[in-house]
Amino acid sequence: MNIENQQRNPVLLIHGIDDTEAVFHKMRAYLIQRGLSVHTLNLVPNNGDVGLDELAKQVVDYITATFGSEQHLDLVGFSMGGIVSRYYVQRLGGINRVQRFITISSPHHGTVVAYASRRTGCVQMRPDSIFLKDLNSDAVILAQLDFTSIWTPYDLMIVPANSSQMSVGREVIVPVPLHPWMLTDSRSLAVVTAALAEPIKLKNPVSSQNDC
Protein backbone atom coordinates (compact mmCIF):
# COMPACT_ATOMS: atom_id res chain seq x y z
CA MET A 1 0.00 0.00 0.00
CA ASN A 2 1.30 3.43 -0.89
CA ILE A 3 1.63 5.56 2.22
CA GLU A 4 3.46 8.47 0.60
CA ASN A 5 0.65 10.92 1.35
CA GLN A 6 -0.12 9.70 4.86
CA GLN A 7 1.19 11.20 8.07
CA ARG A 8 4.18 9.14 9.10
CA ASN A 9 5.47 8.46 12.56
CA PRO A 10 8.54 6.49 13.55
CA VAL A 11 7.54 2.87 14.15
CA LEU A 12 8.75 0.88 17.16
CA LEU A 13 8.62 -2.93 16.99
CA ILE A 14 8.45 -4.92 20.26
CA HIS A 15 9.35 -8.62 20.14
CA GLY A 16 7.91 -11.59 22.03
CA ILE A 17 9.16 -14.09 24.59
CA ASP A 18 12.47 -15.85 23.81
CA ASP A 19 12.87 -13.56 20.79
CA THR A 20 15.17 -10.65 20.05
CA GLU A 21 14.80 -7.71 17.70
CA ALA A 22 16.18 -10.00 14.96
CA VAL A 23 12.74 -11.61 14.68
CA PHE A 24 11.62 -8.45 12.86
CA HIS A 25 14.32 -8.68 10.17
CA LYS A 26 11.89 -9.15 7.28
CA MET A 27 9.17 -6.84 8.57
CA ARG A 28 11.66 -4.09 9.37
CA ALA A 29 13.17 -4.22 5.88
CA TYR A 30 9.69 -4.32 4.32
CA LEU A 31 8.56 -1.20 6.17
CA ILE A 32 11.81 0.69 5.57
CA GLN A 33 11.45 -0.04 1.87
CA ARG A 34 8.12 1.75 2.05
CA GLY A 35 9.68 4.85 3.50
CA LEU A 36 9.05 4.34 7.21
CA SER A 37 11.53 4.99 10.02
CA VAL A 38 11.63 1.70 11.95
CA HIS A 39 13.12 1.07 15.38
CA THR A 40 13.59 -2.07 17.48
CA LEU A 41 15.00 -2.92 20.88
CA ASN A 42 15.92 -6.04 22.81
CA LEU A 43 13.92 -6.70 25.97
CA VAL A 44 16.19 -8.15 28.66
CA PRO A 45 15.68 -10.76 29.95
CA ASN A 46 13.49 -12.12 27.17
CA ASN A 47 12.51 -15.42 28.82
CA GLY A 48 9.77 -14.35 31.21
CA ASP A 49 12.01 -14.16 34.27
CA VAL A 50 10.73 -10.64 35.04
CA GLY A 51 7.25 -9.21 34.83
CA LEU A 52 5.90 -7.64 31.68
CA ASP A 53 5.43 -4.43 33.64
CA GLU A 54 9.20 -4.35 34.22
CA LEU A 55 9.87 -4.94 30.52
CA ALA A 56 7.51 -2.08 29.69
CA LYS A 57 9.81 0.26 31.62
CA GLN A 58 12.54 -0.63 29.10
CA VAL A 59 10.17 0.56 26.37
CA VAL A 60 9.77 3.86 28.24
CA ASP A 61 13.55 4.22 28.57
CA TYR A 62 14.12 3.48 24.89
CA ILE A 63 11.48 5.94 23.74
CA THR A 64 12.79 8.65 26.06
CA ALA A 65 16.34 8.14 24.83
CA THR A 66 15.48 7.84 21.13
CA PHE A 67 12.68 10.30 20.38
CA GLY A 68 12.04 13.91 21.20
CA SER A 69 9.58 14.61 23.99
CA GLU A 70 6.95 15.84 21.51
CA GLN A 71 7.46 13.05 18.98
CA HIS A 72 4.46 10.80 18.42
CA LEU A 73 5.08 7.22 17.33
CA ASP A 74 3.42 4.05 16.13
CA LEU A 75 3.83 0.84 18.10
CA VAL A 76 3.78 -2.77 16.88
CA GLY A 77 3.94 -5.58 19.45
CA PHE A 78 4.30 -9.25 18.60
CA SER A 79 3.01 -11.96 20.98
CA MET A 80 4.25 -11.08 24.50
CA GLY A 81 5.49 -7.80 23.04
CA GLY A 82 1.90 -6.78 22.43
CA ILE A 83 1.11 -7.13 26.13
CA VAL A 84 4.30 -5.30 27.13
CA SER A 85 3.25 -2.56 24.72
CA ARG A 86 -0.25 -2.44 26.18
CA TYR A 87 1.18 -1.93 29.65
CA TYR A 88 3.27 0.95 28.32
CA VAL A 89 0.23 2.49 26.62
CA GLN A 90 -2.28 1.93 29.43
CA ARG A 91 -0.11 2.34 32.53
CA LEU A 92 3.07 4.25 31.70
CA GLY A 93 1.79 7.22 29.74
CA GLY A 94 2.12 5.80 26.25
CA ILE A 95 -1.50 6.71 25.49
CA ASN A 96 -0.28 10.28 25.06
CA ARG A 97 2.51 9.42 22.59
CA VAL A 98 1.32 6.45 20.56
CA GLN A 99 -1.04 7.17 17.66
CA ARG A 100 -1.23 3.85 15.84
CA PHE A 101 -0.97 0.63 17.86
CA ILE A 102 -0.85 -2.86 16.37
CA THR A 103 -0.67 -6.17 18.19
CA ILE A 104 0.16 -9.37 16.35
CA SER A 105 -0.86 -12.73 17.88
CA SER A 106 -0.79 -11.34 21.42
CA PRO A 107 -2.39 -13.23 24.34
CA HIS A 108 -4.74 -10.42 25.40
CA HIS A 109 -6.79 -12.91 27.39
CA GLY A 110 -3.96 -15.30 28.18
CA THR A 111 -2.64 -18.55 26.74
CA VAL A 112 -2.70 -21.97 28.36
CA VAL A 113 0.84 -22.47 27.06
CA ALA A 114 1.94 -20.09 29.84
CA TYR A 115 1.08 -22.77 32.43
CA ALA A 116 4.24 -24.58 31.33
CA SER A 117 6.40 -22.09 33.25
CA ARG A 118 6.32 -20.47 36.68
CA ARG A 119 8.38 -17.50 35.57
CA THR A 120 6.80 -14.18 36.48
CA GLY A 121 6.16 -13.04 32.92
CA CYS A 122 4.62 -16.38 31.99
CA VAL A 123 2.33 -16.38 35.04
CA GLN A 124 1.13 -12.94 33.94
CA MET A 125 0.19 -14.36 30.53
CA ARG A 126 -1.98 -17.16 31.90
CA PRO A 127 -5.73 -16.96 31.25
CA ASP A 128 -7.51 -14.93 33.94
CA SER A 129 -4.24 -13.75 35.50
CA ILE A 130 -4.48 -10.76 37.82
CA PHE A 131 -2.17 -8.88 35.45
CA LEU A 132 -4.36 -9.39 32.38
CA LYS A 133 -7.58 -8.79 34.28
CA ASP A 134 -6.19 -5.42 35.32
CA LEU A 135 -5.15 -4.47 31.78
CA ASN A 136 -8.47 -5.61 30.34
CA SER A 137 -10.45 -3.72 32.97
CA ASP A 138 -9.88 -0.46 31.08
CA ALA A 139 -8.95 -1.74 27.62
CA VAL A 140 -11.52 0.73 26.27
CA ILE A 141 -8.76 3.35 26.53
CA LEU A 142 -7.26 1.81 23.39
CA ALA A 143 -10.23 3.14 21.42
CA GLN A 144 -8.55 6.55 21.63
CA LEU A 145 -5.79 5.23 19.36
CA ASP A 146 -5.92 3.68 15.94
CA PHE A 147 -5.71 0.16 17.37
CA THR A 148 -5.49 -3.05 15.32
CA SER A 149 -5.30 -6.64 16.53
CA ILE A 150 -3.96 -9.16 13.99
CA TRP A 151 -4.18 -12.88 14.68
CA THR A 152 -4.41 -16.35 13.16
CA PRO A 153 -6.95 -19.03 14.14
CA TYR A 154 -4.23 -21.68 13.71
CA ASP A 155 -1.94 -20.33 16.45
CA LEU A 156 -0.43 -23.04 18.66
CA MET A 157 1.33 -20.58 20.98
CA ILE A 158 -1.74 -18.50 21.76
CA VAL A 159 -4.26 -21.06 23.00
CA PRO A 160 -7.10 -20.54 22.49
CA ALA A 161 -6.15 -18.53 19.39
CA ASN A 162 -9.08 -16.14 19.83
CA SER A 163 -7.38 -14.86 22.99
CA SER A 164 -5.80 -12.39 20.57
CA GLN A 165 -9.19 -10.81 19.90
CA MET A 166 -10.05 -7.49 21.51
CA SER A 167 -13.38 -5.79 22.07
CA VAL A 168 -11.97 -2.47 20.86
CA GLY A 169 -10.33 -1.37 17.65
CA ARG A 170 -9.99 -3.19 14.37
CA GLU A 171 -9.55 -6.95 14.05
CA VAL A 172 -7.79 -8.63 11.12
CA ILE A 173 -7.49 -12.40 10.78
CA VAL A 174 -4.52 -13.62 8.76
CA PRO A 175 -4.84 -17.43 8.41
CA VAL A 176 -1.17 -18.42 8.53
CA PRO A 177 -0.35 -21.85 10.02
CA LEU A 178 2.43 -20.94 12.47
CA HIS A 179 2.85 -18.28 15.18
CA PRO A 180 6.24 -16.92 14.00
CA TRP A 181 5.09 -16.73 10.40
CA MET A 182 2.83 -13.86 11.43
CA LEU A 183 5.93 -11.66 11.11
CA THR A 184 7.00 -12.90 7.68
CA ASP A 185 3.87 -13.87 5.74
CA SER A 186 3.18 -11.42 2.91
CA ARG A 187 -0.44 -11.05 4.04
CA SER A 188 0.62 -10.02 7.55
CA LEU A 189 3.12 -7.54 6.18
CA ALA A 190 0.44 -6.01 3.98
CA VAL A 191 -1.99 -5.69 6.91
CA VAL A 192 0.65 -4.03 9.11
CA THR A 193 1.53 -1.62 6.32
CA ALA A 194 -2.12 -0.73 5.80
CA ALA A 195 -2.67 -0.19 9.54
CA LEU A 196 0.34 2.12 9.68
CA ALA A 197 -1.22 4.17 6.88
CA GLU A 198 -4.51 4.77 8.69
CA PRO A 199 -5.39 8.44 9.34
CA ILE A 200 -4.43 9.62 12.79
CA LYS A 201 -7.23 9.78 15.33
CA LEU A 202 -7.63 13.10 17.07
CA LYS A 203 -7.81 12.69 20.81
CA ASN A 204 -7.46 14.71 23.95
CA PRO A 205 -4.47 13.93 26.18
CA VAL A 206 -5.38 11.61 29.02
CA SER A 207 -3.64 10.37 32.11
CA SER A 208 -3.16 6.69 32.90
CA GLN A 209 -1.99 4.96 36.04
CA ASN A 210 1.64 5.58 36.90
CA ASP A 211 1.83 8.21 34.15
CA CYS A 212 5.44 9.10 33.38
| C-alpha atoms less than 13 angstroms from C-alpha of 134 in its C-beta half-sphere | 14
**For residue 201, what pLDDT is reported?**
76
**Whether residue 55 has pLDDT greater than 90:** yes
Q: Taking residues 131-151, report their average pLDDT.
A: 97
Q: Does residue 195 carry a pLDDT above 90? A: yes
Q: Which residues have C-beta within 8 Å of that of residue 125, sequence separation ≥ 6?
A: 48, 52, 80, 83, 107, 110, 111, 114, 131, 132
**Averaged pLDDT of the chain:** 93
Question: Is the pLDDT score of 105 beyond 80?
Answer: yes
Going by pLDDT thresholds of 50, 70 and 90, the confidence category of residue 6 is low
Report whether pLDDT(107) > 60. yes
The pLDDT, as a whole number, for residue 141 is 96
Distance CA 73, CA 93 (A): 13
Q: Is the pLDDT of residue 101 over 60?
A: yes
DSSP string, 98-163: EEEEEEES--TT--GGGGG--SHHHHHTSTT-HHHHHHHHTGGGGGGSEEEEEE-TT-SSSSSGGG
Q: What is the pLDDT of residue 140?
A: 97
